[in-house]
Amino acid sequence: MLVTRLERREFLLAGAVASAAACGPVAVTSFDEAAPDATGADVAGGEDAVTEREAGAADAGVDARLDAATDATREASLDAQREAGSDARMDATADAQPDVQPAGPACGAGASSAGSPGRFTAGSPVFFRDDRFHVVRDARGIFAVSAVCTHNGCDVMADRTGFFCPCHGSSFTLDGAVITGPASRPLVHYQMCALGEDAVGVDPHVRVVATERLAR
């Protein structure tokens, strides 16, 4: 009977040891296998986070370059519009301004030089004997009037009020109108012309109306 009890005790003890031995590796194995899975998940999660940050940085760089290109394009467009507007305003100003007219027609081959327009003073005719005309200045400009009397062709001379003919006594105003006869027709006016910036000429081959002046 005693032997039987001892055998049972040894049998139970051996079973407990075997159970403990069996349970020990299972518990260790479960822990070792679970740990790598958790570690791998953490690493994978970290890699995903890094990839997302890198992708975000790349997108931000692309957006910055696109914004810079857009700003440059917009600035170029504005510059072009400003230049176009400036050109349009300049063209409009040029169109609005009247054309600058010359002080007189350019002298032709038959014109004679009368010198600088500054030499002529109001009320003091200058006689050009060789060409037989007077150059006169009044309030409207300078003009040339023939020295040939319309009565008989003598040269008229300047006096205090105009011109007189020493041959037969005809008299004329400074612009050639008849004051007293025997002349009945006014003195002829010749075209004055521009020889340059500071010189004028007279063309005795071209007749003009008595009201024409050279604004010099």
Chain-centre distance for alpha carbon 111 = 42
Given this model, what pLDDT does residue 105 score? 84
Given this model, what pLDDT does residue 33 score? 46
Q: Which of 138, 140, 144 shows the shortest CA–CA distance to 122?
A: 138
Report the 10 Å Cβ neighbour count for 151.
18
**What is the distance between the alpha carbons of residues 127 and 144, in angstroms, rounded to a whole number?**
10
Report the 10 Å Cβ neighbour count for 127.
15
Q: In which order are the strands placed within the sheet that holds 133-138?
A: 112-115, 199-208, 189-196, 141-146, 133-138, 126-128
Question: Is the pLDDT confidence value at 45 over 70?
Answer: no
Question: Is the pLDDT confidence value at 150 over 70?
Answer: yes
Taking the complete model, does pTM exceed 0.95, yes or no? no
Q: Which of 103, 131, 109 shows the shortest CA–CA distance to 190?
A: 131
Given this model, what pLDDT does residue 190 score? 96
Given this model, what pLDDT does residue 127 score? 96
CATH superfamily of 112-208: Rieske [2Fe-2S] iron-sulphur domain (2.102.10.10)
**What is the distance between the alpha carbons of residues 130 and 7, in angstroms, rounded to a whole number?**
172
Question: Is the pLDDT confidence value at 139 over 60?
Answer: yes
Q: Is the dihedral of CA 101, 102, 104, 110 positive or negative?
A: negative
65 exposure class (CB count in 10 Å sphere: 0-12, 13-18, 19+):
exposed
Q: Is the dihedral of CA 165, 169, 172, 178 positive or negative?
A: negative
Residue 36 pLDDT class (50, 70, 90 cuts)? very low
Given this model, what pLDDT does residue 30 score? 44
Q: Which of 4-18, 107-121, 154-168, 176-190 has the lowest mean pLDDT?
A: 4-18
**What is the distance between the alpha carbons of residues 140 and 120, in angstroms, rounded to a whole number?**
13
Residue 53 pLDDT class (50, 70, 90 cuts)? low
Helix (H) or strand (E) holding 73: helix 2-96
**What is the distance between the alpha carbons of residues 83 and 125, in angstroms, rounded to a whole number?**
55
Q: Got the DSSP string for 154-213?
A: PBPEE-SSEEE-TTT--EEETT--EEESS--SPPPEEEEEEEETTEEEEEEEEEE-TT--
Place of tokens 């953490």: 42
Question: Is the pLDDT confidence value at 97 over 80?
Answer: no
Question: Is the pLDDT confidence value at 96 over 50?
Answer: no
Q: What are the sequence ranges of the domains in the chain? A: 1-100, 112-208
